[in-house]
Amino acid sequence: MNDAPIGIFDSGVGGLTVARAVSQLLPRESIHYIGDTAHSPYGPKPIADVRRYALEVLDVLVSEGVKMLVIACNTASAAMLRDARERYDVPVVEVIGPAVRTAISTTRNGRIGVIGTVGTIGSRAYQDMLEVNERLTVLARACPRFVEFVEAGVTDTAEVLAVAEEYLAPLRDADVDTLVLGCTHYPFLEGAISYVMGPDVSLVSSDTETAKDVYRQLVSRELLAGTGARPQHVYEATGDSADDFIRLADRLIGRGVSAVRLVQTGAIDLPKGTP
């Protein structure tokens, strides 16, 4: 048994979907969440910058004693998962693998759509994992404005629906029957996404699948919190306004985030040859 917190990291508020799913599945676990709001969004940034920002935040979580790291950001997972697993002694869970496994088991016609940030789609992290299976046809599309909408707290307007139609119509018309929401911000837009794709398309959300992976890892490593554990949830952000984070979190998940601490991350030394 281990009552240390689970460290969850995202570029902003999107990872709160993962934190919420982990808390629902593992209510005795403490959570330490950091949103790198000073550098959000990660999607359009160069991969070297994303890697540096992400490792700086993970360094903070590890220094504060977490028992597991959850990279609740698809762009960061694609950019630096191997670095994180080599750098830290605690187990590292990411959001891409769990969603891929679920998509493969869900599709009926073998046509899977993937949506994500420019960085995630450009990395081909999802495409490469899915296309190993020769029976699958994978169609991927970047949806950069989706993160902008969520970070602004705008999730249910006519403009959101119009942008969703623009992004998703090619995937719908290509007859995908399963759509991977390859960004933890996207579940906040699930209403618009589901409406555009239609009732016959299954949506695979990385938040719930990642929470299941967290559960499996904790059980297999005997790291579950004890029966007498008193869970605490700590939220931190790297930006300059805790109030903005709280207001946005309250609008999006409606509970749980009553206080946010501001933290600073420091420069790190990456291995020689790192791009």
Q: With DSSP H G I counted as helix, E B as strand and the rest as coil, what are the percentages for the chain, rounded to 5?
A: 45, 15, 40
Q: What count of residues does the chain have?
A: 275
* H or E element in which residue 79 lies: helix 74-87
- Please list the active-site residues: 73, 183
Sheet holding 68-71, edge to edge: 92-94, 68-71, 6-10, 31-35, 233-237, 261-262
Tokens of 53: 């920002």
CA 181-184-188 angle, 5° bins: 80
Q: What are the structure tokens assigned to 50, written together?
A: 């994303």
**Cross-strand pairs, 108:** none
Residue 98's alpha-carbon distances to 72, 136, 140, 212, in angstroms, are 12, 17, 17, 8
Query: What CA–CA distance (Å, rounded) separates 121 from 114?
Result: 8
Helix H or strand E encompassing 181:
strand 178-181
- Residue 116 main-chain phi, psi, to 5 deg: -170, -170
